[in-house]
């Protein structure tokens, strides 16, 4: 879930040292969309490998004096080394822009490149079974919190024991679960090695074999070409993709590419189930279980919605208006979907669609269905705005890794995004108002914007959204804002214009009543409104065409991909969303229900479960998710004691 890139040149490349630095700088900046929490570089001069890495954005990294001096000194060493005819003629550089998944970036050992004895490497992806691999290889010393380290150490150990590179790669990729796109230097070889199990590596190699550039995404290389720094050294038509389960052995003495596959007879290791224990729960007594407080609420006799639900009423039989007005879901059908896909499906196996992937159950199943059942050639896309959980990231890695699907990440300035959320929560706590809670999630709505941008960058016309199904309709989020009718066909752009105006009026009113909302997040909030309600919606929604069945969805992804469930709740919905446990705690505390009650009620109406089962799930799913609440508070910098105290004392609707 990072950006990796690099450049190899020899004296025939006709690219100056100044331009080389400029290209590397741009590779850092263009890769920042994939990770902006740390950056690092390794420069192989033929005589030494010089490394520098630091927490902070790539844009700031390339401005640092330490980086500039490292580059200057490495170039000097390279020039001196060229005089020695017995050594390599190439200067080779690899770089990394980091999205933190394992290990805090504040500890520099956890940033990349990763240095182990005899090897330097960089990694994009998540290896989800790294803990098991450490347990199975107790002879290897663990020195960082990175999953990258175990990959490099096992690989190096195999090579040291006499196994050739191709067989070693095949074996290590058989052992791991998750995703791994790797670039590495070995001390005893004059080579750059690249490998991937997802296809998330692209490269340029000119006809003279004098200049080689690689990056995590095609558009990054297109931008390098468009910058005109490299001139006629490389043409855009030469951009090539390293396919899933392929590797490159680049000889640094002549820049010749040895491309090979390690997929044949590859068996993917099945990960053991993860366990997670909550220790010292008695320390968190402020987290209240409100189940007893809402047990006497009047509920619909058909579904489980309570009397506190917005705009609810009950007829003489005790049935709510939502059940009375419910119309059975009718999907458009698989035949209609396949007819549409005829216009987009590639004939040569090249990518033909983009699939929005959150790491949740529906999007993971959607990617599986689009690849396996529909026979499309997708690229997966995730917008990680800082509140995507590590569990969701691991599940993305599992599915993409096994399917061999390229996974593109877009990430903003995460620290800033989390700050915006904290500001709005702190403002909300001054005047708790249930209709204002969606402000906490405004930051993730750029998902739509980046999907549109990715269409332009890749020239792929079709974008699938599988991140929601027709059962998920939750009108209460609009109801608390005074809007009686919520989403239409699960498309926010289809909400009536009057309701869109009413929504703006509601927010403006509460901004004026609570001026703390006028903070630095305001522009981000306005942008979220635009991306969600105004901008053109030309996406294809998978679950408008195929039937959704919870058991089938969950069973498939667990069986096929070892999809990981949360340990602090029995529901599988929204477990990859870091915000869900927090806002559901508020809704249950103040209104006596959670969004799960909407899902459960819709499942009852559609005949998936009966009311008795629905009531059991309602009680079970409403239990506070202690681990997730604490993780959320830590991520955005909330004082959880003060926050929970204010939530618990807020005025209730029952």
pLDDT one-digit tens code per residue, 200-214: 999 998 877 889 999
- Amino acid 273: pLDDT: 33
Model confidence over 559-572: pLDDT tens digits?
999 999 998 899 99
- Amino acid 16: pLDDT: 86
- Two tokens at 176? 């791991």
Q: How many residues does the chain have?
A: 654
Tell me the three-class secondary structure of 157-183, residue by residue. HHHHCCCCHHHHHHHHHHHCCECCEEE
Q: What is the spatial distance between Cα 229 and Cα 234, in angstroms, rounded to a whole number?
A: 10
- Amino acid 274: pLDDT: 32
Model confidence over 144-191: pLDDT tens digits?
989 999 999 999 999 999 998 889 999 999 999 999 999 999 887 889
Assign 392 a pLDDT band (cuts: 50, 70, 90): very high
What is the pTM assigned to this prediction? 0.79
Average pLDDT, the chain: 88
Q: What percent of the chain has pLDDT over 70?
A: 91
Model confidence over 465-520: pLDDT tens digits?
997 788 888 899 899 999 986 555 455 656 788 888 999 999 999 999 999 999 99
601-613 mean pLDDT: 96
The larger pLDDT score, comparing residue 113 to residue 33, is at 113
Res. 556: pLDDT tops 60 = yes
- Amino acid 491: pLDDT: 55
Q: What is the spatial distance between Cα 209 and Cα 70, in angstroms, rounded to a whole number?
A: 26
Res. 270: pLDDT tops 50 = no
- Amino acid 546: pLDDT: 95
Model confidence over 279-308: pLDDT tens digits?
333 334 455 665 566 888 999 999 999 999
Run of H or E including 74:
helix 65-82
Assign 102 a pLDDT band (cuts: 50, 70, 90): low
Q: Which residues of 156-176 are buried (b: 16+ CB within 10 A; e: fewer)?
A: bbbbeeebebeebbbebbebb
- Amino acid 283: pLDDT: 38
Res. 523: pLDDT tops 60 = yes
Residue 477 phi/psi, 5-degree rounding, is -65, -35
Res. 644: pLDDT tops 80 = yes
Highest mean pLDDT among 125-134, 307-316, 562-571: 307-316
Q: What is the spatial distance between Cα 480 and Cα 69, in angstroms, rounded to a whole number?
A: 57
Res. 375: pLDDT tops 80 = yes
| Residue 377 vs residues 199, 346, 355, 415, 650: alpha-carbon distances, Å | 12, 8, 10, 34, 50
Judged by DSSP in three states, 1 sits in: coil
Judged by DSSP in three states, 57 sits in: coil
- Amino acid 609: pLDDT: 96
Nearest Cα neighbor of 232 from 207, 195, 256, 258 is: 207
Q: What percent of the chain has pLDDT over 90?
A: 61
Q: Please confirm whether the linkage preceding 113 is cis (ω < 30° from 0).
A: yes
Q: What number of CA atoms fall less than 13 Å from residue 643's CA on the CB side?
A: 23
- Amino acid 264: pLDDT: 60
- Amino acid 103: pLDDT: 60
437-465 mean pLDDT: 92
E strands, 291-428, where? 353-356, 378-383, 407-410
- Amino acid 597: pLDDT: 96
- Amino acid 108: pLDDT: 82
Q: Which residues of 28-49 are buried (b: 16+ CB within 10 A; e: fewer)?
A: bbbbbbbbbbbbbbbbbbbeeb
Q: What is the spatial distance between Cα 289 and Cα 623, in angstroms, rounded to a whole number?
A: 6
519-525 mean pLDDT: 93
Assign 275 a pLDDT band (cuts: 50, 70, 90): very low
426-448 mean pLDDT: 93
């Amino acid at each position: 879930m990072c950006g990796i890139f690099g450049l190899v040149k020899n004296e025939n490349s006709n690219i100056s040292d100044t331009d080389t630095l400029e290209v590397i700088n741009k590779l850092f900046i263009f890769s920042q969309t994939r990770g902006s929490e740390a950056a690092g570089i390794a420069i192989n001069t033929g005589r030494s490998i010089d490394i520098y890495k630091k927490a902070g954005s790539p844009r700031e990294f390339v401005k640092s004096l330490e980086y500039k001096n490292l580059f200057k000194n490495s170039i000097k060493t390279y020039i001196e080394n060229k005089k020695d005819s017995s050594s390599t003629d190439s200067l080779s550089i690899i770089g990394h822009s980091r999205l933190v998944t394992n290990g805090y970036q504040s500890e520099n050992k956890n940033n990349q490149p990763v240095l182990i004895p005899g090897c330097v490497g960089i990694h994009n992806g998540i290896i989800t079974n790294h803990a098991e691999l450490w347990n199975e290889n107790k002879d290897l010393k663990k020195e960082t919190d990175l999953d990258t380290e175990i990959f490099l150490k096992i690989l190096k150990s195999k090579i040291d024991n006499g196994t050739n590179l191709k067989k070693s790669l095949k074996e290590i990729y058989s052992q791991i679960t998750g995703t791994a796109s790797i670039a590495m230097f070995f001390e005893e070889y004059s080579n750059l090695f690249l490998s991937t199990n997802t296809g998330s590596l692209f490269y340029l190699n000119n006809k003279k074999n004098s200049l080689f550039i690689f990056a995590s995404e095609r558009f990054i290389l297109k931008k390098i070409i468009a910058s005109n720094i490299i001139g006629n050294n490389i043409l855009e038509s030469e951009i090539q993709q390293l396919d899933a389960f392929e590797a490159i052995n680049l000889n640094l003495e002549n820049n010749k590419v040895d491309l090979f596959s390690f997929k044949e007879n590859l068996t993917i290791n099945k990960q053991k189930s993860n366990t997670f224990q909550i220790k010292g729960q008695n320390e968190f007594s402020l987290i209240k279980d409100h189940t007893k407080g809402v047990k006497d609420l009047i509920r619909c006799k058909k579904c489980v919605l309570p009397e506190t639900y917005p705009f609810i009423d009950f007829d003489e039989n005790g049935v709510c208006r939502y059940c009375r007005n419910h119309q059975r879901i009718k999907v458009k059908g698989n035949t209609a979907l396949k007819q549409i896909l005829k216009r987009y499906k590639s004939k040569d196996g090249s990518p033909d669609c983009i699939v929005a992937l959150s790491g949740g159950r529906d999007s993971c199943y959607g990617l599986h269905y689009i690849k396996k059942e529909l026979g499309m050639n997708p690229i997966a896309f995730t917008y990680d705005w800082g509140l995507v959980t590590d569990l969701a990231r691991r599940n993305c890695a599992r599915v993409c890794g096994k399917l061999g699907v390229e996974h593109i990440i877009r990430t903003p300035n995460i620290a800033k995004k989390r700050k915006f959320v904290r500001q709005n929560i702190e403002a909300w706590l001054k005047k708790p108002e249930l209709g204002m809670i969606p402000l906490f999630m405004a930051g993730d709505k750029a998902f739509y914007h980046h999907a549109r941008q990715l269409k332009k960058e890749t020239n792929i016309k079709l974008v699938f959204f599988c991140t929601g199904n027709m059962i998920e309709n939750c009108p209460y989020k609009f109801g608390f804002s005074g809007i009686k009718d919520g989403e239409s066909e699960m498309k926010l752009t289809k909400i009536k214009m009057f309701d869109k105006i009413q929504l703006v009026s509601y927010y403006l009113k509460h901004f004026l009543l609570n001026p703390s909302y006028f903070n630095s997040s305001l522009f981000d909030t306005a942008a979220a409104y635009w991306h969600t309600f105004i901008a053109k919606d030309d996406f294809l929604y998978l679950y408008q065409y195929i039937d959704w069945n919870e058991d089938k969805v969950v069973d498939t992804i667990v069986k096929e991909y070892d999809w990981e469930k949360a340990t602090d709740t029995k529901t599988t919905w929204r477990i990859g969303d870091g915000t869900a446990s927090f806002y559901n705690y508020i809704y249950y505390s103040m209104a006596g229900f959670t969004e799960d009650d909407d899902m459960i009620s819709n499942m009852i109406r559609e005949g998936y479960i009966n009311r008795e089962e629905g009531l059991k799930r309602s009680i079970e799913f409403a239990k506070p998710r202690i681990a997730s609440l604490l993780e959320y508070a830590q991520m955005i910098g909330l004082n959880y004691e003060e926050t929970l105290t204010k939530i618990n004392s807020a005025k209730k609707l029952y």
